[in-house]
């Protein structure tokens, strides 16, 4: 039966070029209207990047040319000037298209010019000795070099200039520019064999297959690996977008210099055919255009800095006044929303959008109603009756039972359906005068319920199996050899689908429309393929709100993966998931895992693994950051999102700096999350992942202040003996540090950062100690085997069906499980030996620790033993930190054993074979708390009491202030409290710079001490230290808003609302009544209970701790906009819990608590607040001793 085609979902891509002619004219202030838009563009027109971005069409409903430079467009009524048009002229009665892509482009490119083409004459020099370094500059004199047209080389039969065999070839080509401002983009295309580096006016612009960016290759350096030229085989030159280097261009003479390197001096061929193409605002004189063999984008269009979404409005304005607007209805894939008549009339949906053309002849209709199905999706054992109801009585209902999208040729519903076997029911309404309604999907599964969660994935069968458009088949263009490049399943095609998820108890977790794509690399050739699942507004849900993974609090996803276990597909079906699960207690970015049994259009499809999709949303959800503020890179620094500029700067620093110094360590720790980087490297090395480090690498950094690069671990299938039965014997440490590795899997660029990090002695010791920590814990054989057996048992019950479905062998799987068991048993021992050899170490010794009771625990480097006594083996000569940490309500009293000491933190050499027991005893729970409570820094002329500061004891015990120190911003200004200075709870003490003036104005008895310095009238830092020099309280007041202005010479003092409030925050201070209240409760005092109900925050938030860095105390402030269950916990950088500060229900309000880190080592700590076990906030705290 031939099915009717209904353009409700996606089909194949349609390329519709839009040509706009813009002529500069005078300003005209009226007559431009919003005319048509697409907020869900999947198969319509593409932008210059080949992407199907949403778009907006404007219409000039006048007979005037209009300058758009004073016009704005926005999706925010509170920010009408969100995106301003460039100086562009809009012709009368014309249409203008702009893409709502978020790319924020205003540089229109109207012409592409290949300024250096194949056949152009170059200066060239086959190199046999070192040359002057400035040969790449535009001032170098190359008159004695040879000249000839490109291509230049030998051996492939396509060289216009044939040269003798050589390892290296240098080339130069001058070109001239009259006006660099007209250049908006630069593309370098080059066909080469085997490697090249290109320089623009003496600066590196691009390279491939040799060395590291920013590092000039030696004249006799070999390429990283073999690479064959493409053009002589009928292929195309490789494209490099070097538009970021357009600032290197200068008016007049410029030079493109290129060095070509062979892999072998005896190689049979060498090729160099470069092209340089400029994207320009207008064509140059004597333009020759673009060489037709080059891949050049379409002329660049305008792009807004926002995207279109569901249920929002779009505004055209002059920046202040709205000139036109439209409310966007729910997005429908590839339908436009436009005016029925250009520039006038009501808005409606169009099945066939008309970008850049009139809407007047378009067909427009409304949509049919929805359907309701009586029986829910789920698992059934007996037949059921299903009733389908319709929203509108005039509609007809059609349905299918095989996953197909219903159309008028399918079954028409007129009576309840009896369903007795596994069935996919899909229904929708139709009307002769309307577009079809939405499809309703239900999955009825008549099979024994799996012990795994179950996914039912439904899509119109042609989306999968159509020879030309199905994403699951080879199609007409597949190559004959594995992995069938060119096949349909290698295309970036997304198809509409519906997904239903049932948890392990058979309960429906979610049901949603979605989009699906085939996912992965060579595993796409497997019969069971991996798929990406996307949630978008056009499908009905812009995101999935569901907790997919039991070990994660994340409850919202834009996408996820149904993964077939990659290269491990026919072996264990869980290898990568198992390896990543070993890292659950380690600080490294990785993917969560949940195995599911899958049905595809009602057919059993075996086990697939739900995994997180690595993109900016993955990072944002794990690190509580803005997904639009992330630079995600892969491989050699190619930007997936954001840009690579900061990464390239970091690489340049690695190359140029002496990393062996303390300054080198500071450089490393300020640019990369060194702890996480070392964890990542050690994990990959332990796994023996030999599809890395030159492949499967992603790393990221946000644009937030002090953010650092972090690495993401994924796709480790090659690890744990996939291809090598005795892989545990392989020295992957040397492999990861190889300086001259092949092009795959460990070329020099891929090991560069790790090699440079280990040049720093402190970082090297960190790596060695972290290696020992992990070999003693997460990678210890018994723990690894427990994890392996646990994950295997989880899917064991489902394996027979899965193996039968795909013809897999249980014997082959058991063989691989045995290899993994052997790897787990032996790997740690071998890796410990590799580390000894690599760093020339003298053996390992046992470090034994114990705790005498439950009052505390012991930290060994990054290890917090779960049971005592504990023993680990560490490298002799590498100092190990051992620290006793008291639990709340206890204190550390000393060490016994091989070392007796009262110092909580010890640094020891393992060669001494330390055997230590930490002792703890219970202490009084309450502590004194001294707070700066009132400040008088600028008295009124008629009531001059001098400068003074008041302290209050807000604790429950007498505080001994003997030897405590008070300072202002100047360290030379200090006051030391005399011996015997005691302050009772709720009592006050005042320090005054003129006790005579003070006593003259305040006759009530006040405990006062004299200091010999006053305070700044414009604000400054005040600090209180205890006798050991530990800061107790500090703040910086100011005489400007938001600090109370009445305290600046108008008579009032600064009074703290409550000693429990954060006194570093201006809003917690008020101007006093009268002239202040020294020695007594502040006149503005407000109880915390009162404050909670009088000044309620409008959102949950966790403030940055203050001070930060701190030693050893810091204040933590947080806001609760409503009553909530609150957990606040401090973690170390490895993710180990240091202290739970709050874990209870609290009323709405603002709270301040103090965290004491007396028993914690210097370092970076993570403060994490969780609200109602869902919403999470985190801050980084730095303890400096």
* Domain locations in the chain as residue ranges: 32-108+301-365, 111-280, 366-447, 626-838, 844-913, 930-1084, 1101-1183
Dig out the tokens for 555 from the structure.
């409850």
Q: How far is CA 18 from CA 122, 355, 571, 683, 821, in A?
A: 37, 8, 51, 51, 61
Proportion of the chain in helix, strand, coil states, percent, rounded to 5: 15, 35, 50
The encoded tokens of residue 633 equal: 């890179």
Task: Tell me if residue 639 falls in helix, strand or coil.
Answer: strand
Task: Report phi then psi at 683, rounded to 5.
Answer: -60, -50
**How high is the pLDDT of residue 982?**
84
Calpha distance 543→514 (Å, rounded): 9
Burial of 882: CB neighbours in 10 Å, binned 0-12, 13-18, 19+: buried
CA distance 1044 to 480: 78
Query: Between the CA of residue 1181 and those of 306, 704, 1053, 1133, what are the distances in Å?
Result: 34, 15, 33, 10
Burial of 282 (0-12, 13-18, 19+ CB in 10 A): exposed
Q: What is the CATH number of domain 32-108+301-365?
A: 2.60.40
C-alpha R_g of the chain: 35
Does 366-447 match 1101-1183 in CATH topology?
A: yes
Sheet hosting strand 890-897, strand order edge to edge: 870-875, 844-851, 915-922, 890-897
pLDDT tens digits, one per residue of 233-256: 888 999 998 988 888 999 999 999
Backbone angles phi, psi at 31, to 5 degrees: 100, 0
Count the alpha carbons within 13 Å of 404 in the hemisphere toward its beta carbon. 19
| Separation of CA 671 from chain center | 16
Q: Please, what is the Cα angle at 306 between 305 and 307, to 5 degrees? A: 140
Residue 332's contacts (CB-CB under 8 Å, 6 or more residues apart) are 8, 40, 349, 538
- What pLDDT sits at residue 362? 63
Identify the helix (H) or strand (E) that includes residue 532.
Answer: strand 530-534
1143 vs 241, 886, 1122, 1140, 1148, CA distance in Å?
Answer: 53, 19, 16, 7, 15
Q: In DSSP terms, which residues pair with 275 in a beta bridge?
A: 189
SS3 of residue 888 by DSSP: coil
d(CA 1131, CA 675): 14
Residues 259 and 208: beta-carbon distance below 8 Å = no
Q: Whole-prediction pTM value?
A: 0.65
CB 242 within 8 A of CB 205: yes
Report the C-alpha gap between 665 and 578 in whole angstroms: 34
- List Cβ neighbours of 326 (8 Å cut-off, separation of 6 or more): 34, 37, 313, 314, 337, 347
Determine how β-strand 630-634 pairs with β-strand 638-641: antiparallel
Low-confidence stretches of the chain (pLDDT < 50) are 1-30, 888, 924-928, 1088-1095
Token look-up 């760093």 returns 839
Partners of 1175 in the beta sheet? 1171
CATH class of 1101-1183: mainly beta
Residue 893 tokens read as 């009293």
The architecture (CATH level 2) of 111-280 comes to: Sandwich (2.60)
pLDDT of residue 580: 98
Strand segments, DSSP code E, in 669-796 are: 698-702, 710-712
Q: Which residue(s) pair with 495 in the sheet?
A: 516
Range list of H helices, 660-780: 662-671, 674-687, 732-736, 748-757, 761-776
- Collect all residues with Cβ–Cβ distance below 8 Å to 980 and sequence separation of at least 6: 962
User: What's the confidence (pLDDT) of residue 363?
Assistant: 67
- Strands (DSSP E) found in 601-709: 603-612, 630-634, 638-641, 698-702
Q: Are 607 and 798 in contact (CB under 8 A)?
A: yes
The closest of 430, 422, 500 to 459, measured between CA atoms, is 500
CA distances from 985 to 926, 954, 966, 975, 1078 (A): 11, 6, 20, 22, 16
Angle 1070-1075-1078 from CA coordinates, rounded to 5°: 85
Q: Give the whole-angstrom CA distance, residue 466 versus residue 511.
A: 26
> What CA–CA distance (Å, rounded) separates 26 from 49?
32
Rounded Cα distance between 362 and 374, Å, is 38
Strands (E), 474-551: 495-502, 508-519, 530-534
CATH number for the region 366-447 comes to 2.60.40.10
Distance CA 866, CA 368 (A): 62
Report the Cα 801 to chain-centroid distance in Å.
Answer: 37
Closest by CA to 738, choosing from 727, 730, 729, 749, is: 749
> Among residues 1017, 1011, 1012, 1009, which one has the least CA distance to residue 944?
1017
Q: Which helix (H) or strand (E) holds 1113?
A: strand 1113-1120
Six-digit token string for 1181: 């705290």
Taking the C-alpha atoms of residue 818 and residue 814, their distance in angstroms, rounded to an integer, is 6
Largest CA distance in the chain: 105
Q: How far apart are CA 596 and CA 607, in angstroms?
A: 6
Asked if 124 and 146 touch (Cβ cutoff 8 Å), the reply is yes
Q: How far apart are CA 1027 and CA 978, in angstroms?
A: 11
Name residues whose C-beta falls within 8 Å of residue 157's C-beta, 6 or more positions apart in sequence: 232
| CB atoms inside a 10 Å sphere around CB 1052 | 25
Give, as one character, the DSSP assignment of residue 307.
B
Q: Strands of 1021-1025's sheet, edge to edge?
A: 974-976, 965-967, 1021-1025, 1031-1036
Rounded Cα distance, 101 and 302, in Å: 10
Q: 3-state DSSP call for residue 911? A: helix
Burial-class residue 872 by CB neighbours within 10 Å (0-12, 13-18, 19+).
Answer: buried
The angle subtended at Cα 632 by Cα 539 and Cα 608, nearest 5°, is 50
Task: Out of 1.10.1740.10, 1.20.1530.20, 3.30.365.10, 2.60.40.1260, select the CATH number for domain 930-1084.
Answer: 2.60.40.1260
In 999-1059, DSSP assigns E strands to: 1008-1010, 1021-1025, 1031-1036, 1054-1056
DSSP class per residue in 932-945: EEEEE-S-BTTB--
Q: With b meaning 16 or more CB within 10 Å and e meaning fewer, what string describes 730-768?
A: bbbbebbbbeebebebbbbbbbbbbebbbbbebbebbbb
Q: In sequence order, which residues have a C-beta less than 8 Å from that of residue 1041 and are 6 or more positions away? A: none
For the chain, helix (H) and strand (E) counts, in that order, are: 14, 71
């Amino acid at each position: 039966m031939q099915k009717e085609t209904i353009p409700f979902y996606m089909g194949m891509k349609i390329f519709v070029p839009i040509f706009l002619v813009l002529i500069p004219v005078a300003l005209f202030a009226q007559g431009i209207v919003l005319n048509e838009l697409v907020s869900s563009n999947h198969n319509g027109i593409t932008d210059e990047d080949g992407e199907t971005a949403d778009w907006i069409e404007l219409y000039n409903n006048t007979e005037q040319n209009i300058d758009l430079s004073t016009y704005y467009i926005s999706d925010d009524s509170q920010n009408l000037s969100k995106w301003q048009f460039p100086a562009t002229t809009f012709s009368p009665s014309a249409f203008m298209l702009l893409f709502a892509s978020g790319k924020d482009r205003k540089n229109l490119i109207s012409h592409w010019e290949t300024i250096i083409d194949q056949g152009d004459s170059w200066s060239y020099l086959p190199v046999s000795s070192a040359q002057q370094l400035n040969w790449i500059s535009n001032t170098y004199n190359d008159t004695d070099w040879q000249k000839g047209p490109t291509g230049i080389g030998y051996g492939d039969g396509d060289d216009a200039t044939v040269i003798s065999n050589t390892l290296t070839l240098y080339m130069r080509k001058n070109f001239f520019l009259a006006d660099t401002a007209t250049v908006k983009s630069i593309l370098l295309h080059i066909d080469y064999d085997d490697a090249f580096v290109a320089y623009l006016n003496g600066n590196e612009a691009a390279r491939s297959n040799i060395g590291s960016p920013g590092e000039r290759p030696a004249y006799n350096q070999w390429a990283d690996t073999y690479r064959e030229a493409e053009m002589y085989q009928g292929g195309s030159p490789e494209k490099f977008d070097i538009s970021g280097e357009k600032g290197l261009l200068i008016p007049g003479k410029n030079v493109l210099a290129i060095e070509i390197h062979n892999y072998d001096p005896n190689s049979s061929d060498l090729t160099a055919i470069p092209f340089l193409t400029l994207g320009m605002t207008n064509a140059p004189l004597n333009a020759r255009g673009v060489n037709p063999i080059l891949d050049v984008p379409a002329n660049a269009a305008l792009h807004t800095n926002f995207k279109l979404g569901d249920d929002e409005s779009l505004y055209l304005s002059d920046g202040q006044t709205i000139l036109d607007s439209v409310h966007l209805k729910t997005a429908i894939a590839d339908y436009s929303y436009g005016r029925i008549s250009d520039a006038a009339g009501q808005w409606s949906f169009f099945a066939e959008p008309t970008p850049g053309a009139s809407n007047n002849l378009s067909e427009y209709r409304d949509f049919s109603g929805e359907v309701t199905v009586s029986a829910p999706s789920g698992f059934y054992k007996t037949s059921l009756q299903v009733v389908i109801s319709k929203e509108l009585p005039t509609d007809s209902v059609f349905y299918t039972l095989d996953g197909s999208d219903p159309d008028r040729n399918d079954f028409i519903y007129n009576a309840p359906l009896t369903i007795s076997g596994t069935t996919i029911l899909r229904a929708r309404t139709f009307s002769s005068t309307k577009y079809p309604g939405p499809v309703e999907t239900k999955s009825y599964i008549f099979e024994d319920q799996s012990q795994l969660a179950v996914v039912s994935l439904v899509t119109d069968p042609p989306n999968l199996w159509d020879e030309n458009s199905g994403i699951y088949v080879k199609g007409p263009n597949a190559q004959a050899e594995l992995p069938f490049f060119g096949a349909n399943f290698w295309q970036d095609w997304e198809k509409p689908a519906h997904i239903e998820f049932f948890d392990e108890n058979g309960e429906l977790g979610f049901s949603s429309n979605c989009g699906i794509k085939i996912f992965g690399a060579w595993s796409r050739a497997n019969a069971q393929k991996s798929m990406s699942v996307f949630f978008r507004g056009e499908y009905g849900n812009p995101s999935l709100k569901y907790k997919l993974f039991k070990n994660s609090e994340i409850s919202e996803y834009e996408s996820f993966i149904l993964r077939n276990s990659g290269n491990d597909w026919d072996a264990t079906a869980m290898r990568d998931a198992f390896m990543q699960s070993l890292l659950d207690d380690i600080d490294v970015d990785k993917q969560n895992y949940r195995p599911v049994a899958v049905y595809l259009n009602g057919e059993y499809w075996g086990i697939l693994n739900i995994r997180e999709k690595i993109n900016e949303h993955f990072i944002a959800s794990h690190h509580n950051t803005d997904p639009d503020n992330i630079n995600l890179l892969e491989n050699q620094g190619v930007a997936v999102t954001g840009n690579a500029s900061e990464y390239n700067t970091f690489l340049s620093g690695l190359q140029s700096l002496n990393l062996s110094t303390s300054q080198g360590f500071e450089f490393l720790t300020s640019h990369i999350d060194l702890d996480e980087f070392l964890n990542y490297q050690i994990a990959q090395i332990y796994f023996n992942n030999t599809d890395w480090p030159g492949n499967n690498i992603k790393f990221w950094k946000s644009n937030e202040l002090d953010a650092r690069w972090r690495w993401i671990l994924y796709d480790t299938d090659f690890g744990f003996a996939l291809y090598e039965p005795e892989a545990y014997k392989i020295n992957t440490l040397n492999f990861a540090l190889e300086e001259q590795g092949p092009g795959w899997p460990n070329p020099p660029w891929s090991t560069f950062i790790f090699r440079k990090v280990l040049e720093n002695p402190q970082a090297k010791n960190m790596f060695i100690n972290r290696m020992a920590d992990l070999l003693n814990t997460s990678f210890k054989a018994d723990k690894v085997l427990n994890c392996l057996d646990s994950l295997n048992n989880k899917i064991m019950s489902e394996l027979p069906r899965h193996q039968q479905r795909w013809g897999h062998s249980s014997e082959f799987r058991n063989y691989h499980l045995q290899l993994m068991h052997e790897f787990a048993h032996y790997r740690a021992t071998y890796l410990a030996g590799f580390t000894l050899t690599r760093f020339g170490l003298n053996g390992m010794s046992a470090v034994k620790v114990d705790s005498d009771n439950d009052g505390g625990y012991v930290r060994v480097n990054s290890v917090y033993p779960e049971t005592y006594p504990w023993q680990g083996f560490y490298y002799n000569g590498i100092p190990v930190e051992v620290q006793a940490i008291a639990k709340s309500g206890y204190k550390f009293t000393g060490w016994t054993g091989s070392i007796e000491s009262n110092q909580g933190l010890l640094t020891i050499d393992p060669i001494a074979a330390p055997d230590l027991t930490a002792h703890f005893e219970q202490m009084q729970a309450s502590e004194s708390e001294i707070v700066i409570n009132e400040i008088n820094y600028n008295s009124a002329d008629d009531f001059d009491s001098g400068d003074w500061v008041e302290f209050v004891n807000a604790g429950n015990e007498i505080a001994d202030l003997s030897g405590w120190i008070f300072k202002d911003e100047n360290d030379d200004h200090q006051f030391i409290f005399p011996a015997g200075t005691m302050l009772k709870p709720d009592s006050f003490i005042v320090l005054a710079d003129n006790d005579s003036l003070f006593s003259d104005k305040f006759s009530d008895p006040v405990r006062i001490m004299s200091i010999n310095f006053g305070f700044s009238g414009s604000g400054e830092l005040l600090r209180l230290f205890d006798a050991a020099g530990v800061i107790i309280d500090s703040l910086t007041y100011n005489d400007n808003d938001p600090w109370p202005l009445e305290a600046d010479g108008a008579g009032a003092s600064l009074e703290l609302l409550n000693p429990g409030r954060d006194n570093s925050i201006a809003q917690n201070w008020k101007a006093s009544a009268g002239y202040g209240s020294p020695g007594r409760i502040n006149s503005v005092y407000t109880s915390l209970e009162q404050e909670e109900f009088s000044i309620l925050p409008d959102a949950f938030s966790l403030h940055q701790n203050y001070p930060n860095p701190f030693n050893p105390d810091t204040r933590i402030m947080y806001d609760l906009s409503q009553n909530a269950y609150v957990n606040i916990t401090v973690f170390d950088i490895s993710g180990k819990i240091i202290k739970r500060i709050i874990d209870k229900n609290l009323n709405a309000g603002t709270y301040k608590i103090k965290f004491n880190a007396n028993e914690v080592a210097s370092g970076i700590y993570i403060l994490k607040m969780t609200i109602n076990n869902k919403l999470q906030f985190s801050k980084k705290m730095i303890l400096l001793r």
